[in-house]
Amino acid sequence: MTADNLAIIVLAAGQGTRMKSRLPKVLHRIGGRPLVGHVLTTARALGAQHVEVVVRHERDQVVKALRDDYPDAVFVDQDDIPGTGRAVQVAVDALPADFDGDVLVLSGDCPLADADTLSSFLDEHRASGAPATLMTAVVDDPTGYGRVIRDADGGVDRIVEQKDASADEAAVREINAGMYVFRATTLRTYLPEIGVENAQGEMYLTDVPELVRRDGDRVAASVVSDVSVTYGVNDRAQLAEVGRLLNARIVRRWQLEGVTIVDPATTWIDDDAVLAPDVRILPNTQILGATRIAEGAVVGPDTSLVDCEVGEDAVVRRTDATLAVIGAGATVGPFSYLRAGTVLGAKGKIGAYVETKNAEIGEGSKVPHLSYVGDATIGRGVNLGASTITANYDDVNKHRTEIGDEVHTGSHTVLVAPVRLGAGAKTGAGAVVRKDVPAGALAMTVAPQRNIEGWVEKNRAGTGAADAASRERAAE
Ligand code: UD1
Ligand code: CA
């Protein structure tokens, strides 16, 4: 197959009424991309010379969602004549007039047709020499699909839409998958002949085979064995089902690449994520966006990573992280919340109930318990005591906190930014640090403790506390 002589038309002009959504159907997402994005990613893999997307319903929204990721795709506007036949016609008209190769027609709502399947489909079409080839499948329940009607010799005779089918025709279980290859010249010849005299008042692309046959030519059919590649999304139930199937495929791909995925049913991996061999994914984990996970890392259970980088042998459990970089051998979690711009150095630690944002945390540095670290640069070998907080917001602006190497803060330290702690500095428990601390200094801001003897027995007489205090003092 030469991609040079191939055009791909992706139909994406329909509204998708059955989705009952503000969002156009083809922009609903599975596997980290809009439905039509999967079709365009596959189209790109096939290396076609022309890729066209036919748009109409909410066309600006659809174009905006795709333009940047698929700069080579050409958007073609369908006019107010409805139907898949019209959609393909406007796309063919937008091809160079001298284009005489093959045209692969795909639907923006059928994201499971992968490049391998379509590549064999194109090969079959070319080998058969027919001017048109349909992808078909034999299914248990053909409801909603066009039926493939064969002639006495077993060749394709025509396609009948469900709404136009007789009872006999409706009983046929071989369905039109909605994916076709046509010679460009065949489409140019027959599309102008198609009318709208049918139950839906639309120009049906599915009328082309009958016209090809009328002129004595043959229509080939490629029957796929894996019916799931033909699944389309028309409603939210199908959206979930197709999303599950796509995920199962992605999970399996990584398993075969050497990733341990303990529970495929509760592991969700977006198509753009990349996992190295010997990564282990524990149950209930979502690896989303362009997340990259290096060898030997353990992620999960109960973890969501969006556009994150996880270093070799890092351990990330019960964590929610977005746009964070987790260094090699670092540990994160449980119950950690890493927001955009978090960079945790090698062998560093972000522990329980810690939130971080725009924070660079140096190699071997630890934020183990109950902290908020935002807009901070932290050196190496630092330990922030439990509940250390960077107060980065003065109610108007955000300010930075800088912490040098080997700093240790006492529990419950508040670092009021902008503030800098020099290398090796320490803070006392409960310190509220408003001024820079020089290297090697100890910052104490809490007044010395004063004990008022007998206060409880005097002021809270008769309480459990007073009784307990009396007992302990009597025993002393
Ligand atoms: C279509 C086929 C049917 C096939 C089924 C497979 C026709 C007439 N019927 O039916 O035989 O079994 O797909 O899934 O082709 N679209 C446009 N412009 C339009 C109408 C639709 O671009 O004017 C796009 C839609 O956005 C969608 C695709 O074409 O991506 C298919 O349209 P849809 O209305 O879902 O067709 P089906 O009724 O499923
Ligand atoms: Ca459909």
For the stretch 46-61, pLDDT in tens is 999 999 999 999 999 9
* Catalytic (active site) residue 38: no
Q: What is the pLDDT of residue 121?
A: 98
Q: How far is the CA of 312 from the centre of ligand 1 (A)?
A: 46
pLDDT digits 0-9 by tens, 93-147 = 999 999 999 999 999 999 999 999 999 999 999 999 999 999 999 999 999 999 9
CB-ligand 1 contact for 184 (6 Å cutoff): no
Q: Are residues 265 and 166 in the same domain?
A: no
Task: Give the helix/strand (H/E) hosting 39.
Answer: helix 35-46
Helix, strand or coil for residue 403?
A: strand
Residues 289 and 207 in one domain: no
Which residue reads 């997340």 in tokens?
291
DSSP, collapsed to helix, strand or coil, labels residue 444 as coil
50 CB neighbour count, 10 Å cutoff: 20
Helix (H, G, I), strand (E, B) or coil at 284: coil
Please indicate, yes or no, whether residues 49 and 107 belong to a single structural domain of this protein.
Answer: yes
- Residue 236 placed within a domain: no
Residues 222 and 371 reside in one and the same domain: no
Query: Do both 89 and 219 map to the same domain?
Result: yes
**Which pLDDT tens digit goes with each residue over 321-360?**
999 999 999 999 999 999 999 999 999 999 999 999 999 9
pLDDT(2) > 70 = no
Q: Is 242 in the pocket of ligand 1 (CB under 6 A)?
A: no
Q: Choose among 96, 79, 4: nearest CA to 46.
A: 4
CB of 175 within 8 A of CB of 146? yes
- Mean of all residue pLDDT scores within the chain: 97
Is 70 domain-assigned?
yes
Each residue of 221-259: pLDDT tens digit?
Answer: 999 999 999 999 999 999 999 999 999 999 999 999 999
The pLDDT of 165-191, averaged and rounded, is 98
Same domain, 12 and 87: yes
pLDDT above 90 covers a percentage of the chain that reads 97
| Ligand 1 centroid, distance to 36 Cα (angstroms) | 13
**Cα–Cα distances in Å, from 286 out to 92, 171, 270?**
41, 42, 8
Query: Are 220 and 316 found together in one domain?
Result: no
Residue 33 domain-assigned? Answer: yes
Whether residues 357 and 404 share a domain: the answer is yes
In angstroms, what CA-CA distances link 23 with 65, 107, 273?
11, 17, 25
Measured by CA distance, the residue closest to atom 25 of ligand 1 is 14
**Residue 368 resides in a domain:** yes
> Domain ends where: 215, 230, 245?
230
Is the C-beta atom of 204 inside 6 A of ligand 1? Answer: yes
Catalytic residue (choose from 28, 38, 50, 369): 369
467 in a domain, yes or no? no
- Split at pLDDT 50, 70, 90, the class of 1 is very low
**Are 223 and 267 within one domain?**
no
| Residue 433 pLDDT class (50, 70, 90 cuts) | very high
| pLDDT for the residue 15 | 86
pLDDT at 187: 98
Number of domains in the chain: 2
Comparing CA positions, the residue from 245, 252, 268 lying closest to residue 110 is 245
* C-alpha–C-alpha distance, residues 48 and 248, integer Å: 28
138 and 272 co-located in one domain: no
pLDDT of res. 476: 87
At 120, which CATH number? Answer: 3.90.550.10
Task: Give the distance, in angstroms, between the CA of residue 210 and the centroid of all CA atoms in the same chain.
Answer: 41
Q: Which domain holds residue 209?
A: 3-230
Quick one: three-class SS letters along 308-346?
CEECCCCEECCEEEECCEECCCCEECCCEEECCCCEECC
| Nearest-CA residue for atom 11 of ligand 1 | 146
Q: In angstroms, what is the span from residue 124 Cα to ligand 1's centroid? A: 23
Model pLDDT for residues 20-51, shown as the tens digit of each residue: 999 999 999 999 999 999 999 999 999 999 99
Decide if 36 is inside a domain: yes
Whether residue 253 is contained in a domain is answered as: no
3-state DSSP call for residue 17? Answer: helix
Could you tell me what percent of the chain has a pLDDT over 70?
A: 99
CA 359, CA 30: separation in Å to the nearest integer? 31
| C-alpha dihedral (374, 380, 383, 388), degrees to nearest 10 | -20
The answer, yes or no, to whether residue 3 has pLDDT greater than 80, is no
Task: Quote the DSSP letter at residue 461.
Answer: T
Confidence (pLDDT) at 395 = 87
CA distance 131 to 218: 7
Clarify whether residues 208 and 348 are in a common domain: no
Q: How far is the CA of 252 from the centre of ligand 2 (A)?
A: 27
Ligand nearest to the CA of 76: 1
- The H or E element spanning position 369 is strand 366-369
Q: Is the CB of residue 146 below 6 angstroms from any atom belonging to ligand 1? A: yes
- The CATH number linked to 363 is 2.160.10.10
Rounded to an integer, what distance in angstroms lies between the CA atom of residue 276 and that of residue 257? 8
Give a yes or no: residue 453 inside a domain.
Answer: no
Count CA within 13 A, CB hemisphere, residue 162.
Answer: 9
Closest residue by CA, ligand 1 atom 22: 13
Q: Are residues 338 and 374 in the same domain?
A: yes
**Burial class of residue 141 (count of CB atoms within 10 Å of its CB; 0-12, 13-18, 19+):** exposed
